[in-house]
Chains A and B, each alone.
Chain A
Amino acid sequence: MVFIKDAKKEFLDQIINKRVLVFVHLDVDALCSWKILQHLLHCEHILYSVIPINSKQALEDAYNQHKQVANNIILINCGATLDLVEILQPPEETIFYLIDSLRPLEVRNVYNGIQIKIIVLQNELGIEQKLVPEYEDIFDEEEENDEENEEEEDGDENLDEEEPERNRSKRKRFDPEYLEKMHAKREWESKRSKILFEYYKYTYHRCSSSLVLFDLAWKSAKDNNDLLWWSIIGLTEQLINCKIDRDIYTRYVVELNSHVLRHNHRPAVNALGTSNTNPAPDDVSINCLKISHLDDLNMVLLRHWSILESIYHSIDLACLFKMWTNKGKKKLNEFLADLGLPLNECKQKFAYMDSSFKNDFKMLVASENIKEKYRYDENFIYLSTFIASFGYTNKLTAFDMAYAVEALMENVDGEKNLSDKFIEALNCLNRENLKALECGIETAKNHLKKIYQQIQNFIDMNQIVASGPFLQVFLEEGSNENPFFSQIFTSKKLARFALQSYLALTKGKKVRNMPLIVCIPLNESNTLIAGVPPYRATNNTENCFGLAFDEAAEKTKSRVNFSYFDTSIIEINNEDKSKFLDALVAVMQ
């Protein structure tokens, strides 16, 4: 096992005074992790080069361009599921450090031992180890040796005359010991493929990379409020994109809360982590970052939007009211009336609302009769998160930040390339840069509106249809919004929202346990297919599409491109699409 046991000793101390090359995947968690890692590298004066990537091909290209720069390579949220040694062919002295939340880990990475080191949360080391199959079950050293020997023997035999060889093979064939060995080997092989199938069956996520790195920063006594804030944002993103479910999220929130209390306990240290010489409680500057835990309303970007719009675009609430129907819109109005909120107050920005309404709002939604009437519970309407304040700006929740940063990355703008988006998103994470943040929040609103509109279309046109064991929905070809929906996280979000809204409007029991795929035409020749697992209240994070896509592609020999690290998103040639989907139905049954 190459899980690093002591991240400080075996990772951070190892790279001091060396150049490192860092590959960062383009997602919020990876960016937050990078910010934390960057702080650690700066502390140690470690020189680095950093390259943002978004696909497997990009990783390969970037590696080949930069491999001579450094022998120590850190991969954040990318590559742990790939056989790195096989794909990149690194020289022997190169060492990869992997920090990835995506599972299952490629077993060859786990058991590589020399060149690949995987960093996981230390508390979860035991669990992670249990998840990976035992070495003996999947690798057979004897067998590998045997094969080598046989090859050598074969080589020798060819030189000899043919007669002795035949004798030998005959002897082999009838030797009971040999036969038994062969039998055992076959049994072992079938067991092995079974184990591997079970292991690779689902793709899912575990603890966010930013938490892993924050843990490292904490253990090297270099943590501060900023790092903590980034790790909170990283965790939040995992919940937004359904990488982890609510239970696990809550568990981590409790864990992080202890750090939050530690850092925001007065007399406080200031945000940069330098010790505050004057510990008088009121001396904490307004510009310092202050974080506190909060049970917030489960409404998107509420602090930057109006109540009405926020409810419209929160998928959970939209499904509760079945917002895509006329009845649903009436029901929402009724709901607001029950809360005693005038409609014109609900339509203006939450921040400018009459403060008496604002204060009551949060209490009222959780009052008994409202909860009973609209059939939801406290867990549904409240979401525990963290809220940060600094300077004289609005308070920000971790969700606002995560939405804003993601929107900047998923923004489709012809002029901006990967690197621009990377820098823009990183700027947004810098809290000095309020303009970027505002821009991010506006973009996020736009994105949510587009998704809402698209789902309204799906529902109006009855475009979500069951096809065998899963639901599917196609986007129309030639729509202007297709490039936007084909972004990695947006496509999945669209799929998830479509599934959830479909379930809210459909009564049948059978559809409850169905996953959904969404097909988005990319250009004349290619289509992007993204799959999401069935919607359940808990444990809805294991995605079985990776293996299913693989199998269906193999059966039909379709031209499929698994370009992303997340295998549940693929690109497929249009000509192969229909036969691929047919095969997918067969595979899934």
Chain B
Amino acid sequence: MLCQKSFELIKQLDSNFSNAHELSPFNEDNVRYTFEECKTLFAQNQIDVQPVLQGDNSNLPTIQMRHAALQRNKRCLLTYVYTRMNWVASLRFELATVVAPKHIKANMSDLEVVWFQKYSKTLANYMKSLSQATQTNSGYIYPIDLTQYTKPPKSLFIHVRCLKDYGEFELSDGHTVSLVKDSQHYLLASDVQDLIKQGILEHID
């Protein structure tokens, strides 16, 4: 049956997203098979299209069917590649590393690996340019890490609740707070972002 392999690619994507931190291996076989299928279909259409040009319409439905199959294969392939690309891009934000972990890298195609490197480079350049824009008169550059702040904050300060005993914590203004279990504080969001990620603090409204 036509387009079966390309459909399998899409199904594979579906299972890939059910577990978020695993990338299934790049299915080179199916991709190549689909390419071959496309080539064959195109070649057959090229042959069958000649009588049509001379006014014989008996082959027309076959040609249209083949063309639809071609279109579908194209769409499936593009979806497969594009979705994987987005996933790899999100990897950069989630893991905040320039080097992909080994088990993921093993499942990426060569082109994907190259693309990831380029993407990381572009992002780094962009962040650098942003950081330079913050340069104040005193010459201090405030480093901006886009992977840290993916959402714009609603306010500079947030109300947090302490989930574990942490002890003294020094804020950027030099004051200290004692983070004792169940105490609640109103602090600068940038100070406590890390602690929230570590699960020591909880953001409450």
Asked if chains A and B come from one complex, the reply is: yes
CA–CA, A68 and B179, complex, Å: 12
- CB-based contact B205/A430 at 8 Å: yes
B183 interface residue (CB < 8 Å to A): yes
**Which residue of chain B lies nearest to A49 when distances are taken between CB atoms in the complex?**
B185
B204 interface residue (CB < 8 Å to A): yes
Given A49-B177, A423-B204, verify A417-B186 contact (CB < 8 Å): no
- CB-based contact B185/A419 at 8 Å: no
**Which residue of chain B lies nearest to A19 when distances are taken between CB atoms in the complex?**
B175
Contacts of B177 in A (CB 8 A): 49, 69
CA–CA, A430 and B188, complex, Å: 23
CA–CA, A510 and B183, complex, Å: 50
Given A47-B187, A419-B161, verify A69-B182 contact (CB < 8 Å): no
A-B contact count (CB 8 A): 47
CA–CA, A19 and B184, complex, Å: 13
* Chain A min CB distance to B177 (Å): 5
CA–CA, A332 and B182, complex, Å: 48
- Size category of the A interface is 10 to 19
CA–CA, A521 and B133, complex, Å: 68
Contacts of A449 in B (CB 8 A): none
Residue with the greatest number of chain A CB neighbours at <10 A, chosen from B176, B182, B186, B205: B186
B157 interface residue (CB < 8 Å to A): yes
* Chain A min CB distance to B170 (Å): 12
CA–CA, A229 and B188, complex, Å: 29
A50 interface residue (CB < 8 Å to B): yes
B180 interface residue (CB < 8 Å to A): yes
Residue in A19, A42, A47, A417 whose CB lies within 8 Å of B182: A417
B178 interface residue (CB < 8 Å to A): yes
Given A47-B157, A47-B187, verify A419-B180 contact (CB < 8 Å): no
* Chain A min CB distance to B160 (Å): 10
Given A47-B157, A419-B161, A430-B205, verify A65-B176 contact (CB < 8 Å): no
Residue in B157, B184, B204, B205 whose CB lies within 8 Å of A49: B184
**Which residue of chain A lies nearest to B177 when distances are taken between CB atoms in the complex?**
A69
**Which residue of chain A lies nearest to B180 when distances are taken between CB atoms in the complex?**
A65
CA–CA, A69 and B161, complex, Å: 16
Contacts of B205 in A (CB 8 A): 430
**Which residue of chain B lies nearest to A420 when distances are taken between CB atoms in the complex?**
B182
- CB-based contact B185/A48 at 8 Å: yes
Residue with the greatest number of chain A CB neighbours at <10 A, chosen from B156, B176, B182, B188: B182
CA–CA, A69 and B170, complex, Å: 10
* Chain A min CB distance to B40 (Å): 60
Contacts of B187 in A (CB 8 A): 47
**Which residue of chain B lies nearest to A66 when distances are taken between CB atoms in the complex?**
B178
- CB-based contact B178/A47 at 8 Å: no
* Chain A min CB distance to B203 (Å): 12
- CB-based contact B180/A48 at 8 Å: no
- CB-based contact B175/A419 at 8 Å: no
List residues 163-200 of chain B with CB under 8 A from any CB of chain A: 175-178, 180, 182-188
- CB-based contact A419/B184 at 8 Å: yes
Contacts of B175 in A (CB 8 A): 19, 69
Contact with B along A27-58 (1 / 0, CB 8 A): 00000000000000110011111110000000
- CB-based contact B178/A51 at 8 Å: no
CA–CA, A417 and B181, complex, Å: 11
Given A45-B157, A47-B157, A47-B187, verify A419-B182 contact (CB < 8 Å): yes
* Chain A min CB distance to B179 (Å): 9
* Chain B min CB distance to A427 (Å): 8
- CB-based contact B183/A49 at 8 Å: yes
CA–CA, A222 and B184, complex, Å: 24
A418 interface residue (CB < 8 Å to B): yes
- CB-based contact B180/A66 at 8 Å: yes
**Which residue of chain B lies nearest to A24 when distances are taken between CB atoms in the complex?**
B184
- CB-based contact B178/A65 at 8 Å: yes
CA–CA, A419 and B204, complex, Å: 12
Given A49-B177, A430-B205, verify A41-B186 contact (CB < 8 Å): yes
**Which residue of chain B lies nearest to A67 when distances are taken between CB atoms in the complex?**
B178
- CB-based contact A49/B186 at 8 Å: yes
**Which residue of chain A lies nearest to B185 when distances are taken between CB atoms in the complex?**
A49
**Which residue of chain B lies nearest to A48 when distances are taken between CB atoms in the complex?**
B186
**Which residue of chain A lies nearest to B179 when distances are taken between CB atoms in the complex?**
A49
Contacts of B180 in A (CB 8 A): 65-66
* Chain A min CB distance to B53 (Å): 65
Contact with B along A397-423 (1 / 0, CB 8 A): 000000000000000000001110001
Residue with the greatest number of chain B CB neighbours at <10 A, chosen from A19, A68, A418, A430: A19
- CB-based contact B161/A423 at 8 Å: yes
CA–CA, A46 and B205, complex, Å: 16
CA–CA, A50 and B186, complex, Å: 8
Contacts of A51 in B (CB 8 A): 183-184
**Which residue of chain A lies nearest to B171 when distances are taken between CB atoms in the complex?**
A47
Contacts of A66 in B (CB 8 A): 178, 180, 183
CA–CA, A65 and B188, complex, Å: 21
Given A45-B157, A430-B205, verify A68-B178 contact (CB < 8 Å): yes
**Which residue of chain B lies nearest to A433 when distances are taken between CB atoms in the complex?**
B205
**Which residue of chain B lies nearest to A423 when distances are taken between CB atoms in the complex?**
B204
CA–CA, A48 and B177, complex, Å: 10
Residues of A within 8 A of B (CB): 19, 41-42, 45-51, 65-66, 68-69, 417-419, 423, 430
* Further pairs besides A50-B185, A50-B186: 19, Cβ < 8 Å: A42-B157, A42-B186, A46-B186, A47-B185, A48-B185, A48-B186, A49-B185, A50-B184, A51-B183, A65-B180, A66-B178, A69-B175, A69-B176, A417-B182, A418-B182, A419-B182, A419-B184, A423-B161, A430-B205
Which 6 residue pairs across A and B have the least CB separation, nearest first? A419-B182, A49-B185, A50-B184, A48-B186, A69-B177, A65-B180
> What are some 28 contacts across the A-B interface (CB < 8 A)?
A19-B175, A45-B156, A46-B186, A47-B185, A47-B186, A47-B187, A48-B185, A49-B184, A49-B185, A50-B185, A50-B186, A51-B183, A65-B178, A65-B183, A66-B180, A66-B183, A68-B178, A69-B176, A69-B177, A69-B178, A417-B182, A418-B182, A419-B161, A419-B183, A423-B161, A423-B184, A423-B204, A430-B205
